[in-house]
Chain A
């Protein structure tokens, strides 16, 4: 499948313009993760210095990877089904743009606010821990390797959630259904991050590299898997081809 970068860029720019003009979209994306970060943060603030030893054997920061798993799911779920409902997809689909070009442009555009929100919330969380937690707790919690892993895994997890959301969006006739299914599809990712953060199993460097490589592979193949799911005729006319 040949891909024209110009068309991908055009869709990417248009979607980004949407986020820029409608800032409430990005702001509302950040609200839920911020709210759900409050309780664990308070718990961490309340930890006595003596518990830092226990924290060293756990990886609680991995919990923050639930944010890039769930935030882009909503945006990605709307990307095709929402535009279809608005009727704004038809003029685009009547052009020679390929399904892969359209979906890649949308996926890349969804990645930008997702990363902004994920890194933003992570930044707020780190600053709050440094500021309000007991210094030994903060030191045990905010270790270099874990922070680096968070920074590196955030785009990988977000991209996976985006491709799953886009895939569901291309096949859903209603954006509300697409959103609910996409959030549901994020559940396994959230479950994995929760199990790791609560000490269910410890991620070693080798395992992290393996997981990262696997995610990278899945993400890069995402558009190839999702593109054939886009049925131009069904999206325009509502009838299956």
Chain B
């Protein structure tokens, strides 16, 4: 200590004073790095210790800068980037009747995509324990309220986000996957052809001019190939994003809200295009528009609060949540038929909707399907139509997401 106390600085005081702010800055940088290091979740104790030594002892601020650029919170969690299909057996049912379809590959088709316990936690929100099974050649619709985790799930499948836990299994290689964000951005000065050509060069180097032209035509931009993207409408940019995704002839196409920027005609066209891909390639798409999903998706996954509430056939889902309620239209006055039905034990409610239409709620689907035609026949009335009152995806979706319980974390 006596030696230390004899150390003196020969620098003039005003120069020392000028160096104080620099010293404070360097110390602050080191402290910041050390605090950040202490909070890093991904590193083990040895790695943290090594980085702490670098930060403190490598000549300031080089050690701190090395940590900031190279060591800071890298490799968090297990990467869930698409991997080769591992060939493991499919997982079984999880015992919850509501999730009965959630872990089964419908039909005999082998899955193109599977996830196991996929989790990305943004501090309470995100995605939790998702076991996805996307059959080969299917059109898989992903629906859920805002913030349900649809985009996070698609990003994890695409490999643009990393999972905290869980794995993604792909039967195909990364180069056979194409991703189309909801509305892609392109440099204004690029022509549509150049934008798709660039995408082709990155995804499928063998793609030639014909492939670019085909992709543009398929996306409905064949006539705009030479136009600069800067003059495109939002819908056209969305189509261009699709053309970029299609140019490599992907086996798996991931579409995030593919119709969000399209007008009704464009939307219908896009949906037809996606529906036509069924069997030729696997499509996973997210949408808020349930009618779109019902129209083209043969498989559906419903997300709420980051959890997969249902997964399986769209038809089965609708059937499961089909209410025993029908709209019956009669040729002529429906009042006598309504009165007759109201007297039956199986009819829980009979409500006239108009002069020729009544709504009939039954105790069960079977009772309604047997009872309604019998009453109409008994009344001598002529039936124009009889259709389920609530047999759409929206009813099923609402039943699941509004009243259905989420799996506990």
Which residues of A does B touch, CB under 8 Å?
Answer: 4, 6-7, 9-11, 14, 17-18, 21-22, 86-88, 90-97, 167, 171, 228-229, 232-233, 236-237, 239-241
Contacts and interface: CB of A to CB of B under 8 A. Distances in A.
Given A91-B244, A236-B160, A237-B161, A97 B185 contact: no
Contacts of B189: 17-18, 21-22
Contact of B186 (A22, A88, A240): A88
B142 to A, nearest CB: 17
Interface in B171-218: 174-175, 177, 179, 181, 184-187, 189-190, 194, 198-199, 201-203, 205
B306 to A, nearest CB: 15
Interface of B: 68-70, 73-74, 76-77, 122, 155, 158-162, 174-175, 177, 179, 181, 184-187, 189-190, 194, 198-199, 201-203, 205, 241, 244
A86 B177 CA distance: 24
A7 B201 contact: yes
B202 A10 contact: yes
Nearest to A7: B202
Given A228-B70, A232-B160, A233-B161, A91 B199 contact: yes
A6 B73 CA distance: 32
A94 B185 contact: no
Nearest to B163: A241
B202 A236 contact: no
A88 B155 contact: no
B69 A94 contact: no
A93 B160 contact: yes
A90 B244 CA distance: 12
Contacts of A22: 189
B71 to A, nearest CB: 10
A229 B202 contact: no
Given A7-B202, A10-B201, A91-B181, A229 B69 contact: yes
A75 to B, nearest CB: 15
B202 A167 contact: no
Contact of A241 (B122, B162, B199, B205): B162
Contacts of B244: 91
Given A22-B189, A229-B69, A233-B162, 9 more contacts: A7-B201, A14-B194, A88-B186, A90-B181, A94-B158, A95-B203, A237-B155, A237-B161, A241-B162
B175 A94 contact: no
A233 B160 contact: yes
Nearest to B195: A91
Nearest to B73: A240
Nearest to A93: B160
A79 to B, nearest CB: 13
Given A91-B184, A91-B186, A229-B69, A96 B199 contact: no
A234 B162 CA distance: 10
Given A167-B69, A236-B160, A240-B73, A96 B185 contact: no
Contact of A88 (B77, B187, B201): B187
A11 B68 CA distance: 27
A96 B187 contact: no
Contacts of B203: 95-96
B155 A239 contact: no
Contacts of A4: 205
A229 B65 CA distance: 12
Nearest to B205: A6
A14 B191 CA distance: 11
A167 B368 CA distance: 69
B330 to A, nearest CB: 55
Contacts of B161: 233, 236-237, 241
Contact of B181 (A7, A94, A97): A94
A229 B66 CA distance: 11
A50 to B, nearest CB: 39
B302 to A, nearest CB: 23
B156 to A, nearest CB: 10
A46 to B, nearest CB: 36
Contacts of A93: 160
B68 to A, nearest CB: 8
Contacts of B76: 240-241
A90 B185 contact: yes
A89 B303 CA distance: 28
Nearest first, the 5 closest Cβ-Cβ pairs linking A and B are: A87-B185, A10-B201, A6-B205, A94-B179, A95-B202
A92 B160 CA distance: 11
Contacts of A95: 179, 199, 202-203
B187 A92 contact: no
A237 B203 CA distance: 22
A14 B199 CA distance: 11
A239 B160 contact: no
B160 A96 contact: no
B43 to A, nearest CB: 14
A167 B241 CA distance: 29
A91 B241 contact: yes
A171 B69 contact: yes
